[in-house]
Amino acid sequence: MIRKNPNSEKSFSPDDLKFLTDASLARLGKWLRLLGYDTIVFSREAGREMLRVAEKDGRIVLTRRRDMTGRQFSGCLFLITDIIVGQQLKNVIEKFSLIIDRKRMFGICLECNEKLNPVNREDVVDRVPPYVMETCEKYNRCPDCGKIYWMGTHPQNALEFMKQHIPNHLP
């Protein structure tokens, strides 16, 4: 179920859409962040407050709670019925015609949803394992939580997951 679906004939880039998921969809939220989409995971109980946050920020609500579809809300709400995160991701990509841009992937902190900033290798020498320091050249840091990211096995595993679950949507 969806209310107020954006124009389905248009494809949407990460600059066009922002999402808010309820806590039960935290894994889906991380996948949307990984793809470069601004996604807040609402950690408190889904309800009026969550809808107010979404409306204020112009976010699309993704929820598994059927009762949310009957709430008074002028924004866009999409009911997620699948329990498998790969299928959830596929459904959101297809419903909103999301564009997956490899240049935008891995650009948002998976923990706090902030855009990552490039950081010099020398600045992370004490913050990453020695093997990573020997094998990786480029690093990013979250300006909020300080977490360090690099292109290691996690991005490779994420790409394999996407090839398995959303192969028709990869660039």
Each residue's pLDDT tens digit, 21-31: 999 999 999 99
Please report, for the chain, the start and end positions of each structural domain, with discontinuous segments joined by +: 2-95, 117-166
pLDDT band at 11 (very low <50, low <70, confident <90, very high): low
pLDDT of residue 47: 86
DSSP codes of every residue in 8-61: TTS-B-TTT-EEEEEGGGHHHHHHHHHTT-EEEEE-S-SSHHHHHHHHHHTPEE
pLDDT of residue 45: 87
pLDDT band at 10 (very low <50, low <70, confident <90, very high): low
Task: Encode pLDDT of 50-101 as tens digits.
Answer: 999 999 999 999 999 998 888 888 889 999 999 999 999 999 999 998 988 8
Q: Which CATH number fits domain 2-95: 3.30.450, 3.30.530, 3.40.50, 3.40.1350?
A: 3.40.50
Q: Which residue has the higher pLDDT, 145 or 12?
A: 145
The position carrying tokens 């028709």 is 168
pLDDT band at 13 (very low <50, low <70, confident <90, very high): low
Q: In what side-by-side order are the strands of the sheet with 117-119?
A: 117-119, 139-141, 148-150
pLDDT of residue 94: 93
pLDDT of residue 9: 44
pLDDT of residue 46: 84
pLDDT of residue 7: 39
Task: Encode pLDDT of 127-158 as tens digits.
Answer: 999 999 999 999 999 999 999 999 888 878 88
pLDDT of residue 101: 87
Spatial contact of 75 and 36, defined as CB atoms under 8 Å apart: no
